[in-house]
Structure 1
Amino acid sequence: MSLLENILYFQGGLGVLANMFLIIFYTCIILDHRYKPMDLIFCQLTFIHIMMFLTAGEIWLADIFESLNVKNDFKCKATFYIYRVMRGLSICITCLLSVFQAVTISPSTALLAKYKHKLKQHIIKASLYIWSFNLSFSSNLIFYVGGFTNVSETNQMKVFKSCSLFPINYIIRGFLLTVTTSRDVFLVGVMLTTSTYMVIVLFRHQRQCKHLHSISQLRTSPEKRATQTILMLVVFFVAIYWVDFIISCMSFLLWMYNPVILTVQKFVMNIYPTITPLVQISSDNRIINVLKILWSKRHQIFKKRWFFCLL
């Protein structure tokens, strides 16, 4: 196993553990009805990232399909479909996160302010639409993917360990690429627009606070801290996404894949779902307080574990 593959497995393990912790945290506060509107989006994003890790490496889906004696062709289609859906949802939900944070911090005189009081309802409706759209949008490539056999003989392009794309007509290939690119360019444009708007709002807020000699209140503002976190995630996502998009486009148009490029692409695409939970954990005071409580009670938890083991 190469060094890059070892790094990929370490990255996947770290990402899954961090996202599992977050999804447990968000599920608990949502069930307890103590959640903020943004928590609904972060919970979805965390679930999407877990599924991306588990389908990109075919970790548990392959084991389940093998135990059920499922054919390789169906396993390939199911794994590839789920991964494409989650990949599309990742950019859509990140865009949704950026839009609703812009609404959250918008001044009372702004046009977006009228949506603040119904933020939860809008988030639920928007999420349902996004999930429905991506479940249907990502189904187009199912017909062109199947179980991997032999690349040199069948001219298949390997996309997973046991999965490959069949040869696609140039016209269809160009159409699929154009549609996907149009969606991505639109969503990235919305993210950049809302990010610019948030930067302007923060700049004006900071200037007003300086004028009122209360800059310390701005530094401790939860809204500002949350906005800075989301801005960082959005900018980071856009950079990573376009690196991955360029690699995908070149491979798809030239119909040329090799194991090194495939591994590098997985590594690049997994950077965002690995970094995102770590940024969320370090920037959310609620999560930090939970970790402090768990750390302070670690001795009690350890003693209880040994007690139950002795029983």
Structure 2
Amino acid sequence: MNQSSKLYTSTNIRNTFFFEIIIGISGNSVLLLFHVLISSREHKPRLTDMPIGFLAIVHLLMLLVVSVIATDMFIFQQGWDDITCKSLVFLYRFLRGLSICATCLLSVLQVITLSPRHSCLAKLKKILSPCHSLWSLFALCFVYSSISSNLLIHIVITPNVTSDHLLYITESCSLLPFSFPMKYIMSTLFVFREAFFIGLMVLSSGYMVVLLCRHKKQSQHLHSTSLSPKASPEQRATRTILMLMSFFVLISILDSFMSFSRHMFKDDLIFYCIQILVSHSYASVSPFVFISTEKDITRFLRSMCERIVTI
């Protein structure tokens, strides 16, 4: 794995990598702080408040774990042992699974929130509670992470001798190659897993678009076609989630394609770094999208900026 030393001299890639991590940690910390403060003042929180707050926590922890992993990629240090390699990589995969499941659950809960009163989904609105949402989230995550449990066996310490059969993860950790039958079994499971979650997001997003178009036609009929009625908080939240779903699906498709290319073709380290930058862009961008749609947060941040400028 002598080629891994290239990363130590790639200053631009290293700076971009850590810049994305710092931006993501800052954004998720602000979102989590204000989300807790705003939620504590409301007697009846929205159905989507818990997944948004949980998503901020997961992204914050995931980026912190990635920053630790990145030190073994870009900074000279003493190598990790086998337990450290397995623990960090599996923890990262688990947190990423939580991120995907929380995003999927958020889109489904928003559909339930927007559903008309006479629909079957509207009945779930009265039954569901934050506790039910939390259990649903962990159930989805268990299904998602169980497919990746084989990483505990195939992650090993990088040997001193160069080997073209190992897949680079960090300077200290590598991934053992799968056997021919196992490779296609795992690839099939991965495809079905990603197709299930992405398909669920696409279906819920499509349903939200239909509900928004229907609501817009009703508003134009009740008011005037020349005047565009002001969007309700539910509509603004739906548009935000739709934008995030579209971005997430795009990132997931690119990440899956890059991961498949690394396993099937030559393992290039620069390509690997680009894949990591792409896969974590959602965790870094999503908090700022949520912050921009929360009026209380933007009002407070605007007042803070004005105070700093006047000082």
Q: TM-score, normalization: structure 2?
A: 0.85
Asked if the contact 1:20/1:50 (under 8 Å) is kept, the reply is: yes
Q: Deviations over 1:148-180 (max 9, x none)?
A: 234733621111232110122121121122112
Partners of 1:8 and 1:189 in 2: CA distance = 30
Once the two structures are TM-superposed, the CA of residue 43 in structure 1 deviates from its matched residue by 1.4
Helix, strand or coil: the match of 2:35?
helix
**1:146–1:77: structure 2 CA closer, same or farther, 3 Å change rule?**
same
Work out whether 1:10 is the aligned partner of 2:13: no
Structure 2 counterparts to residues 161-172 of structure 1, below 5 A: 161-172=171-182
Asked if the contact 1:103/1:113 (under 8 Å) is kept, the reply is: yes
Work out whether 1:49 is the aligned partner of 2:59: yes
How many equivalent residue pairs?
295
Asked if the contact 1:5/1:263 (under 8 Å) is kept, the reply is: no
Question: Which amino acid in 1 is paired with 2:15?
Answer: N
Structure 2 counterparts to residues 246-257 of structure 1, below 5 A: 246-254=257-265, 256-257=266-267
Q: Runs of 5+ in structure 2 lacking a partner?
A: 1-9
Work out whether 1:94 is the aligned partner of 2:131: no
- Which of residues 106, 126, 138 is equivalent to 2:115? 106
- Which region of structure 1 is more displaced relative to structure 2, 22-31 or 111-120? 22-31
- Which region of structure 1 is more displaced relative to structure 2, 193-202 or 147-156? 147-156
Asked if the contact 1:61/1:79 (under 8 Å) is kept, the reply is: no
- Which of residues 232, 240, 250 is equivalent to 2:251? 240
Once the two structures are TM-superposed, the CA of residue 271 in structure 1 deviates from its matched residue by 1.2
Asked if the contact 1:54/1:61 (under 8 Å) is kept, the reply is: no
Helix, strand or coil: the match of 1:146?
strand
Structure 2 counterparts to residues 46-195 of structure 1, below 5 A: 46-58=56-68, 72-121=81-130, 122-150=132-160, 152-153=162-163, 155-195=165-205
Asked if the contact 1:11/1:274 (under 8 Å) is kept, the reply is: yes
Q: Which residue of 2 is the match for residue 207 of structure 1?
A: 217
Q: Which residue of 1 is the match for residue 240 of structure 2?
A: 229
Partners of 1:151 and 1:181 in 2: CA distance = 33
- Which region of structure 1 is more displaced relative to structure 2, 3-12 or 182-191? 3-12
Q: Which residue of 2 is the match for residue 309 of structure 1?
A: none
Once the two structures are TM-superposed, the CA of residue 190 in structure 1 deviates from its matched residue by 0.8
Partners of 1:60 and 1:266 in 2: CA distance = 10
**1:259–1:152: structure 2 CA closer, same or farther, 3 Å change rule?**
same
Partners of 1:94 and 1:151 in 2: CA distance = 41
Once the two structures are TM-superposed, the CA of residue 124 in structure 1 deviates from its matched residue by 2.5
Asked if the contact 1:151/1:157 (under 8 Å) is kept, the reply is: no
Partners of 2:229 and 2:293 in 1: CA distance = 16
**1:60–1:119: structure 2 CA closer, same or farther, 3 Å change rule?**
farther
Asked if the contact 2:58/2:99 (under 8 Å) is kept, the reply is: yes
Q: Deviations over 1:35-73 (max 9, x none)?
A: 3221210112112212222223425997xxxx9x99521
Which structure has the highest helix share of the two? Answer: 1
Asked if the contact 1:188/1:238 (under 8 Å) is kept, the reply is: yes
- Which region of structure 1 is more displaced relative to structure 2, 111-120 or 148-157? 148-157
**1:275–1:179: structure 2 CA closer, same or farther, 3 Å change rule?**
same
- Which region of structure 1 is more displaced relative to structure 2, 148-157 or 269-278? 148-157
Percent identity over paired residues? 32
Once the two structures are TM-superposed, the CA of residue 292 in structure 1 deviates from its matched residue by 3.5
Helix, strand or coil: the match of 1:167?
coil
Question: Which amino acid in 1 is paired with 2:114?
Answer: I
Once the two structures are TM-superposed, the CA of residue 81 in structure 1 deviates from its matched residue by 0.1
Helix, strand or coil: the match of 2:118?
coil
Once the two structures are TM-superposed, the CA of residue 181 in structure 1 deviates from its matched residue by 1.5
**1:188–1:153: structure 2 CA closer, same or farther, 3 Å change rule?**
closer
Partners of 1:127 and 1:297 in 2: CA distance = 40
Question: Which amino acid in 1 is paired with 2:231?
Answer: T
Partners of 2:172 and 2:129 in 1: CA distance = 41
Partners of 2:166 and 2:256 in 1: CA distance = 20
Once the two structures are TM-superposed, the CA of residue 214 in structure 1 deviates from its matched residue by 5.6
Helix, strand or coil: the match of 1:139?
coil
Once the two structures are TM-superposed, the CA of residue 130 in structure 1 deviates from its matched residue by 2.7
- Computed over aligned residues only, the root mean square deviation of the Cα atoms, in angstroms, reads 2.6
Q: Runs of 5+ in structure 1 lacking a partner?
A: 303-311
Helix, strand or coil: the match of 1:58?
helix
